[in-house]
Structure 1
Amino acid sequence: MREGEADPGLYDYAPYRNRPRIEWPDGKTVAVWVSPNLEYYEFDPPANPHRKSWAKPHPDVVGYAHRDYANRVGHWRMADMMERHGFKGSVSLSVALCQHVPEVVENANALGWEFFSHGIYNTRYSYGMDEAQERAIIEDSIRTVREATGQTIRGWLAPALTHTPRTLDLIAEYGLTYTCDLYHDDQPMPVSVRSGRLISMPYSLEVNDHYGFFVYNMSPREYADTLIRQYQRLAAEGAASGTVMCIPLHSYLIGQPHRIGAFEEVLKHIAADGRAWITRSGDIAAHYLAHQTGNGGVQA
């Protein structure tokens, strides 16, 4: 290996063939989890020297109000649709939402959704944080979610996908069992950490509605077709060894009136197919940790 090209050693390399078999409950071939990002964006957040919070100069009235649609309207429309077809959310939560819009958090908790941390605000980033600051955010996340919902978070998705070199070690130290910040595989994989046991939970940028609508400029029907094709391939490959499909959502996008109908067709398709273990991220992590060890190896 050339100087300056050191592998960070986050996880071992394992080619996508001839891995130890992963088996999901009831013979299902693909574990499907839906991840609503329930977020809170500050109107005029403190500046981070490494990244702007808004594309426009602060305060960005349009950007703020567009995202506020999620908590006022989009969440409720999306949640009704998911419940209608038997999908429980695994919430990527800006934990400040517990104080700012507690009605949304209370609704998701009453529906039996799981919560994991997406930082405090989605307008404050990990870039430039020292260890004490990062520890404070993790501790705040654990405490705030527990007080608001009674749940103890088991997973982590860094705020706005921003990290430090110590993030994974710290969340494992605090007892979290999975991270959604590694997009390198379609199966759970062990992550190398100083203490504890941490796995990567497959979370997709490719079929994230933010990328679908903002980056790839998909129509609602194109996005729905992409999700169905993603599902079909992973369900087929999962017959050899169980796969994971994550559907990451932002309700200010998918909860719009002109998009929600196409998304409903995806939920109907997956629910009717019969090969999906429709579940939550923490349940996937718990099953994997109970049945697998090492680099995907099955426990004796």
Structure 2
Amino acid sequence: MLLPQPPRYDYSAIVDRPTYDWPGGARMAFYLALNVEQFAWGRGTGHAPHNWNNGADPRIFAWRDYGLRVGFWNILDILDELRLPCCHLVNSAVCDNFPTVVERINARGEEVVSHGRTNAERPGDYFEADERRLIQEVTTTIERRHGQRPFGWMGPWISESPVTTDLLKEEGYRYIMHWPCDDQPVFLKTRAGPLLNVPYPIELNDAPAILNRGHSAEEFGRMMTDQFDMMLALSAKRPLVCAISLHTFVFGSPFRLAQLRQALEHIAKFRDDPRVWFATPGAIADHVLALPPGTVPGSEP
């Protein structure tokens, strides 16, 4: 029986691929992604802990807004204390409207990944010309506010139109984070040539885990450490990417911070372990893009 297959990549079993190392001979690349998002009052889409059908509910908006007012600062304080890096998945609306948030990110000197304009919209719903203009606007805004041109894209809600990946390649992006099909980077087919997909976590992501699937903070903390430890063991056989995604309005709440700190303290113990490379999606992409053709699925000459 022949079933429709994804248009962007071909099947590749991880056990059949060439092996390679991360910088310094590391076996597992680890990165922490912090989603820094703005939502619209009374309209548009967005996360919600309750009352999903009423976007104008002040409790829902205020709960999201807590992330930029309080949660963002709480999480970065813990990362500073533990000397752990992260990358920042930033809505360009945040760049225009929250200068103190921009200043804190810039002071850390870390990678900023394009996260669309706002999580109150889904770019994949746009017509092609409008989606291209949106990508251009986001890119220009982030470059202007953060002083670095973003080369990675994680769209709001991982929203993907039939041409999103094509447009990103054509607009100069080097990687996307939409396709959770693998624990290694793979190349996606586009009409302008291959575009790298860097693994991004769907399950090790606090928003769907806690808000949609009902996991507790304690359970998610255990998921973080179990994922890290098990992937480190598996990486003895092949290079892997281990990633964890946090949202400022979810794990930025004090009662969850204790579980976050405990999990990150465990991960921080591996800072000097030669098997682990504390990286960013952009650094992972740069390393993979420099590998010989045929090493990574989709890069065959």
Structure 1, gaps ≥5 residues long: 48-53
User: TM-score, normalised on structure 1?
Assistant: 0.91
Aligned twin of 2:290: 290
Please list every run of 5 or more consecutive structure 2 residues that lacks an aligned counterpart in the other structure. 46-50
2:104 to 104, 107, 115: 107
- 1:145-164, aligned counterparts within 5 Å? 145-164=142-161
* 1:252 alignment partner, one of 249, 252, 258: 249
| 8 A contact 1:88–1:112 mirrored in 2 | no
Measure how far apart 1:202 and its partner are.
Answer: 0.6
Alignment partners' CA distance in 1, 2:216 and 2:43: 32
The amino acid that maps onto 1:284 is I
Q: Secondary structure at 2:125's aligned position in 1? A: coil
Q: 1:292 to 1:216 in 2, by over 3 A?
A: farther
Q: Is the 8 A contact 1:189 1:295 kept in 2?
A: no
* Native 8 Å contact 1:71 1:104 kept in 2: yes
Deviation, structure 1 residue 116: 1.3
1:6 is displaced (CA, Å) by 2.8
Deviation for aligned residue 1:157: 1.1
**Per the alignment, do residues 195 and 232 of structure 1 end up closer, same or farther by CA in structure 2, a change over 3 Å counting?**
same
Instruction: Note the C-alpha offset of 1:9.
Output: 2.2
- Which residue of the partner structure matches residue 48 of structure 2? none
Check conservation: 1:87, 1:279, Cα contact below 8 A: no
Q: How does 1:1-300 map to 2 (within 5 A)?
A: 2=2, 5-45=3-43, 55-273=52-270, 274=273, 275-294=275-294, 296=296
Equivalent pair of 1:120/1:137 in contact (CA under 8 Å): yes
* Distance in 2, Cα, partners of 1:230 & 1:150: 34
Q: Which runs of 4+ in 1 moved over 3 A?
A: 297-300
Distance 1:181 1:162 in 2: 8
Q: 1:61 to 1:295 in 2, by over 3 A?
A: farther
**One-letter amino acid of the structure 2 residue matched with residue 13 of structure 1:** Y
Alignment size in residue pairs: 293
- Structure 1 residues 128 and 139: alpha-carbon distance in aligned structure 2, compared to 1, 3 A threshold: same
Aligned-residue CA RMSD (Å) = 2.1
Report % sequence identity. 32
- How far is the alpha carbon of 1:292 from its aligned partner? 4.4
Structure 1 residue 269, shift from structure 2 partner: 1.5
- Cα deviation, residue 58, structure 1: 4.0
- The answer to whether the 8 A contact 2:29-2:279 is kept is yes
The Cα of 1:216 is off from its aligned counterpart by 2.7
| Greater mean deviation of Cα atoms: 118-127 or 143-152 | 118-127
Secondary structure in 2 matching 1:254: coil
Q: Do 1:209 and 1:254's aligned partners in 2 also have CA atoms closer than 8 Å?
A: yes
Inter-CA distance 148–196: structure 2 relative to 1 (3 Å threshold)? farther
Q: Is the 8 A contact 2:124 2:131 kept in 1?
A: no
TM-score normalised to structure 2 length = 0.91
Is this contact kept in 2: 1:175–1:196, CA < 8 A?
no
